[in-house]
Each structure stands twice: as C-alpha cells, then as structure tokens.
Amino acid sequence: MAIDALTALWTGQGLDPAALRRLAMTGEDPALPSSFAIGSLAAASIGAVALAAAEIHRARGGPAQEIAIDRRDAAIEFRSERYLRLGEGPAPELWDAIAGLYRCGDGWVRLHTNFPHHRDGILRLLGVPHDKAAVAAALAGRDPLQFEQEAAEAGLVVAALRDTGTWDASPAGQALAAEPLVAVTRIGDAPPRPLPPGPRPLSGLRALELTRIIAGPVAGRLLTAHGAEVLHLAAPHLPQVQPLVIDSGRGKRSASLDLREAGDLDRFHALAAGADILLQSYRPGTLERRGLGAEAMAQRHPGLIHASLSAYGFEGPWAGRRGFDSLVQTATGLNLAEAAAAGSDTPRPLPAQALDHAGGSLLAFGILVAALRRMTEGGSWRVRVSLARTGLWLRSLPRVERGFEGPDPGYDEVQDRMESVDSPYGPLRLTRHAARLSATPAQWATPPVPLGTHPAAWG
C-alpha cells in the first residue's frame, strides 16, 4: 500500500514514473500499534522526499541511485521527538500539565496548552487555576462545540471531538476535501535556475525557515539531510519548545529576527534575495498581512519557492484557525475511528504525531518538486500542505487488521536507529534518517544549536 500511495503522490505531480523503480520498500504494517497504516504513511512520505532529492541530483549531473526504506525505520523517525535524549537522561517533558483530552458536557474536547499564552487564555476562559482537576470540573458542564468556538474566537487552541462523517459533512471538511494533498503552483515568471554539479543532491539550495514545533521544522530538517543550507529565523517574542528545537535542528543555522521591526524586516528581505526557498508555518493570512505572502514575495524576489504549512487547510471557514497535530486528529475524526477499531469508549490518539511528520515530509517533497520544475521551466512557485489534508491521505490508505498488536518500541528497542551527537547542549542521542540513498547518504553536517546562535546572514 505504501508503494501505491507513493506512486499516486509522485505521478500526481507529473514526475517520471520510471524513477519509482529505483526505490525499494520493506517491512509491513502495523509498524506501530494502530488501525491506521502509520508505517506506510511514514515510508511513502519520507521516501518521496528522498526520491525527489535523488532526481534533483541526477538532473544536475549526478548518478542515478537506489533508495531503500523500511516501514519500521520510517515509523521510528515519525517518533523522533520521543526518543531524543540529552546526556544520560530523557528530554524534558513536552506537554503542559493541563494539556489533553477532557469530558465536556455530552462529548469531549482536547486542549493544547504548551505555549504559556494558550494555557493562560484557557484558564481565564474557564475561570480556574492551573490545576487539571479544576479544569476537568469546569469543562464537565460546558457544551463541547460551544467551548471550541469560544476558544477559537479568543485565539486559543481547542478541538471538540467529532467522528469522520460529521467532519466530512461540515463546511470546513468539505472545503478541505477539495484541496490537493500537495499543491505546487507556479505564481510568477523567472528564468530557469539549473543547478551545477554538487556533492549532495541539494547542495547550493538555500532555505529561510520560519517555523515552530514539529511539522514545519521537520521539512527543514529533511532539506538539510540532503545538503540544503537552511537558516532558521526565530522571533524572540514567540515561545518555543526546546526539545523540539533540538530534535529538528540538525544541519540548520539559527538566527533571530523580529519581523515587526523595520530594520529586521529589511534584513529579512536581504536574506530572501539570496534564498531559493521560504519555508513557513504561520497561519494562513499572517505573512500576507505583513506583505510577505507568496505572491508579494514572488513579485519582489522572482524565482522564490514559497512553501506554507497550515493546520486545517487554506480555504473554508477553518483556514485561519490555530491547530496542532493532536487537535486535528480530534476534530477530524481520527481519534474516534482509532477508538472504535480498538473497541474503546475513550478517544484514542495515533501512536505518533503522524500528521506533523507526514505533513512536514510532504512539504519538503513539494518544495523539491518546485525546485525540479524551476531548474528547467523557471518561475516562482507556491507550495501548500496542511495537517488536516494529510489526515485525509492517511484515512485513504487501507486500514490495518489487528493493528493494535503491532510493536510499540521504547527507547531501548530503537538503539539501532539512534546516533550520538556532540552539541552545544551537550551529548545527544538522535534518531537516524530512515531513507538510505546509495550514492549520497543522508547526513546532517552540524548538530542542533540554540536559537539565535548565528548572525542573520548566509554562511
């Protein structure tokens, strides 16, 4: 099923189907305990990036090469943040104390409170202290859909539990279903940009990254694995989750810019003038309001590939809504579908942040599709991927019988997939990349660094 999914993804972008013969997939689902084909999702999305990188390398004069990927290895990479180790101990806890799933009236809601302003906003909305029992008691008397709407209007991050049928029939679900999985669109004219021969598939490609948490940073991490120069730009006033910064930071340089400041905005445009790619995961409309949307950037910087990731898509009533993987799973019916397959009365999350990791992989794939086209056709390009549309792709894969009998590997069981890295944070244990390329093995040239380590300049 992973090969079929990858074939549809690849040929759907007009890419040469002969390249698919150079990729071999092994292993089987369940790769993780789930009724959904997480292993196939992981292998197809990571494999698509590796195959596109290899095609770019071939197009610039490198040899054709074989690619191998195993579903187990790919599924482990989809849980990379779980396996991160700092020194001798585990990484700090990712989740705030009140984040999670709660009974709410006659239904359920999921709260995402890992950012302090989201946490404090929920507590104000409920009128309770930072205490899980108090939050649960306050939510017990609320209507889930009404509370979800109140939270959205307050700029907070809450999802009411739905089944897939209810989501699909909603205006937001119908708008999402009409969107492509990976939208790669030419939005302006520019001369072709062929790449000269280079040692790595993406050598010489420069990407500015404006992302946080998992999906967007994973896209940047995949680009660096194949040789791109990625400069991550952190806004000093925006919160981050340090373990995720570490896990996704390999190969990247990191600088700080505040795009609200005129001087920093000028520096950003100077960087964009030397960039091939702008990779961002702000909500739809956020960069547009600052004159940094895809069309405006293409006009100012012809030839730029402007890549965006959103939670709930780019059209429809939920396009501007804040969201994260766990909430998208809840809102779009995945949690209920998983629970039904398990015979459980309690909503059940997927065994990985699969929408984040697949969404980030698909965004990297779309970027490379645009880069391939730009080599011969020229043009400025827009790439769009969303977590919720990625969830529809997962739903389209055949469900896995007896999926909950699949392995649930802990840290000790994945040591063959880990590597030791010295870093400014101290010694780290990080997950290896799953795709194996015969001529240009994926690698990260530098360790993760703290945000703002480097100047806002190309190396």
| Catalytic residue positions, numbered | 356
Angstrom distances, CA of residue 162 to CA of 51, 62, 122: 36, 49, 21
Angstrom distances, CA of residue 91 to CA of 84, 97, 116, 238, 287: 6, 16, 19, 21, 32
Q: Where are the beta strands (DSSP E) in 57-144?
A: 67-70, 85-86, 89-90, 100-104, 107-111
Tally Cβ neighbours within 10 Å of residue 115: 20
As a whole number of angstroms, the distance between CA 60 and CA 222 comes to 19
Q: How many CA atoms lie within 13 A of 182 on its CB side?
A: 27
- Per the CB < 8 A criterion, the answer to whether 214 and 186 are in contact is no
Residue type, 247: D
As a whole number of angstroms, the distance between CA 19 and CA 58 comes to 11
Pairing of strands 100-104, 107-111: antiparallel
Burial of 414-447, coded b for 16+ CB within 10 Å and e otherwise, reads beebbeebebebeebbbbbbbbbbeebebbbeeb
Cβ-proximal residues to 260 (8 Å cutoff; 6+ apart), any chain = none
